[in-house]
Structure 1
Amino acid sequence: MGYETVIYAVEQGVARVTLNRPDRLNSFTEQMHREVAEALDMADADETVRALLLTGSGRGFCAGQDLNDRAVSPGGEAVDLGDTVERFWSPLIRRLATRDKPVVCAVNGVAAGAGANVALACDIVIAARSAKFIQSFANIGLIPDSGGTWVLPRLVGQARALGLALTAEPLPAEKAEDWGLIWKCVDDDALEEQSMALASRLAAGPTRGLAATKHAIRGALLNDLQTELDHERDLMRNLGQSSDYREGVAAFMEKRQPSFGGR
C-alpha cells in the first residue's frame, strides 16, 4: 500500500499489520505511528476484515519509541514527552484495546518499553519462545507509559508489576505465560503458523459476540459485581437476537460447522 514502515496484507479475513523497521527493532517514529493508524483505518473500512494480527519483522517485535526521533542531550532543550504520549501512544493503545474486531499479537522477538505495552493492549498475545518483554523505562528515568501502569498490575499483580517496572529486567516469554502476562508461548518456528491460525479462527467466528465479550471483560475491571451482572444481561438480550446466535444454535442442533456472518 505504499507504506515505508508497515506491511499491510489481508488474508482469510485477517488484516495482518507488520511493523517493518527491522534495522531499528521496529521502534516507532512519527511516520510509523501515522502509517499504523492508516493501516488500522483500512482494516476498519474493509468489510472482509474480521480480525487483526499485529507482528514485527526481523528479530524483534518492537523496541518502543525510537529515541533518535526525539533526540535530547544533557543541557539541551527539554522534550515534551507528554505531547508524544497524548498524540501518538495513547490513541494507539485505545484503538487496539477498544476496537470491535479481535486483535491477536504475535511477538516474534524483544518487546521493550512502549513496544511491550502495545502488545499487551491486544486481546490475545502469542510469543515466540525466544521473545522477551522488557519494561525498559526505568533505564532512562521514565514510567511505563502506553497503558503499562494500568495493565501490568491487573495481569500479574502489584508485586510483579513493580518488579518489572523498577528493575527493567527482561521477562522471558515462557515465564510471561506462566505469570499470565500473555496467552501462550510457542516454539519460534511455530509462531507464524499458530498466530495466523488463531486470527483466522477468530475471523471466522461470531465476531459480534466476540466483540461484546472483549468489551465486557475489559470493562469489568472497573465495575462492581452488580453493575457487571446488569451489563451481561443487556448484552445477552442484544446478542440473543443476532443472526450469529441463531446460526450457532442451528449448527449445534444439526451437528454441522456454523457459518457466522458477524451479524
Structure 2
Amino acid sequence: MSQPDQVPQPDPDQQPTVTRTDADGVATLTLQRPALSHRLRTELLALVREVSADESVRAVLLTGTGRAFCVGQDLAEHVEELRAPGGRAEGALSVVEAEYNPLLLALAALPVPLVVGVNGACAGAGMGIALAADLRVAAAGAKFTTAFAGVGLSSDSALASRLVHCVGGSRAAALLLLPDPFPAETAEQWGLVHRVVPAEEVLAEATALAVRLAAGPTAAFRAIKRVLATAATDSLEETLALEASLQTGLGATADHREAVEAFLAKRAPVFTGR
C-alpha cells in the first residue's frame, strides 16, 4: 500500500512575524505571534517605518491573531540570552534602548492616525504599544496587565508616561506596582480603550474605524496628533502659538476648502488628504 503524500508544513522560522495588507487607504499590520521576539520587533519597526513613508497610507491598523494581541517580551528568548556568555547576554540587557525605544518613537511619529485592535491578552510592552495608538478597540473580556514588576523590572515602552496621562498618577502607580490583570471593560471605564466589542467583532470594528479615519482630512489629523503630543507639557502661550501656526497652514489645504464648500452646499465633504 502506498503511503499518502505528505503535505509539507511551513517552517515557522521562515514565515513573517508581522504581515501588512492595504485597502481603502488603511495599512493593516498584523502580529502573527504574541510575544515580542527580536525578529518580531525588527520586522514591526521596519513595517512601521515603511507605512510612515508611504503617502498612499492615510491610517494604520495594528492588531494581533488568536487569543492574544501582544504579551510583551519573549521571555524564553530573553532567558536564553541572559544565560549566554558574552555579547548575547549584553544584548539582552540593552534591548530596551536598542529596539523598544526606536519602535515606540516610530509609532509616535506616524503622520496618520493609528488604531489598535486589541484582540486578546495585552501585557507589558504590548500594553505600551497599544497605548501608543490614537484609538483602541478591545475584545470583551481581553485581559490587560502591566506585568513588569512581576518579573522584577520597571516599565518600558513609555508605559508609565502613557498611564499617567490616561488614568492619573495614583492609578498608574497602582497598576505598575500591583500588576494584577484587569478586563477590557475596566480599561474602557478608565479611558484606556475607545470601545469594547465582542471578540469576533474586533477586527471589523477596528477596520471600520481606520477606514473612517482614512477617508478624513489627513493633514488636519496630522496637526491634531501634533497638538495632542505636546498638550500636556506646553505652556498656554506655546499651545496657542502652535495652534495658530498649524491652523494657518490647514486653511490653505484643499480639504479645508472642500469642507467649507460642502457645508454651504449642505452635502458631505469628500476629503483627498491634501
Q: Distance in 1 between matches of 2:272 and 2:15?
A: 31
| TM-score for the superposition, normalised by structure 1 | 0.92
Q: Give the CA deviation at 1:9.
A: 0.4
SS at 1:244 equivalent: helix
In structure 2, the partner of 1:142 is: 153
Distance verdict in 2 for CA 1:194–1:160, change over 3 Å: same
Q: Give the CA deviation at 1:80.
A: 5.3
Partner amino acid, structure 2, of 1:115: G
Moved more, 63-72 or 5-14: 63-72
**Percent same amino acid at aligned positions?**
41
In structure 2, the partner of 1:128 is: 139
Q: Give the CA deviation at 1:82.
A: 5.2
1:182 and 2:178 matched = no
Partner amino acid, structure 2, of 1:65: Q
In structure 1, the partner of 2:8 is: none
Partner amino acid, structure 2, of 1:234: S
**Structure 1: which 4+ aligned runs deviate by more than 4 Å?**
72-82
- 2:127 and 2:145 in contact (8 A); partners too: yes
Per-residue CA deviation, residues 12-34 of structure 1 (Å, 9 max, x unaligned), is 1100000001xxxx111111112
Greater Rg by CA: 2
In structure 1, the partner of 2:28 is: 16
Aligned Cα root-mean-square deviation (Å): 1.8
In structure 2, which of residues 23, 40, 52 is the aligned counterpart of residue 32 of structure 1? 40
Distance verdict in 2 for CA 1:101–1:82, change over 3 Å: farther
Partner amino acid, structure 2, of 1:259: V
In structure 2, which of residues 54, 62, 69 is the aligned counterpart of residue 54 of structure 1? 62
- 1:97 and 1:123 in contact (8 A); partners too: no
Q: Distance in 2 between matches of 1:74 and 1:13?
A: 42
Q: Distance in 1 between matches of 2:206 and 2:272?
A: 22
Q: Distance in 1 between matches of 2:177 and 2:144?
A: 14
Partner amino acid, structure 2, of 1:63: V
Structure 2 residue runs of 5 or longer lacking an equivalent are 1-13
In structure 1, the partner of 2:75 is: 67
In structure 2, the partner of 1:117 is: 128
SS at 2:216 equivalent: coil
| TM-score for the superposition, normalised by structure 2 | 0.89
Q: Give the CA deviation at 1:129.
A: 0.9
Partner amino acid, structure 2, of 1:20: Q
Structure 1 residue runs of 5 or longer lacking an equivalent are none
- 1:70 and 1:79 in contact (8 A); partners too: no
Partner amino acid, structure 2, of 1:161: A
SS at 2:230 equivalent: helix
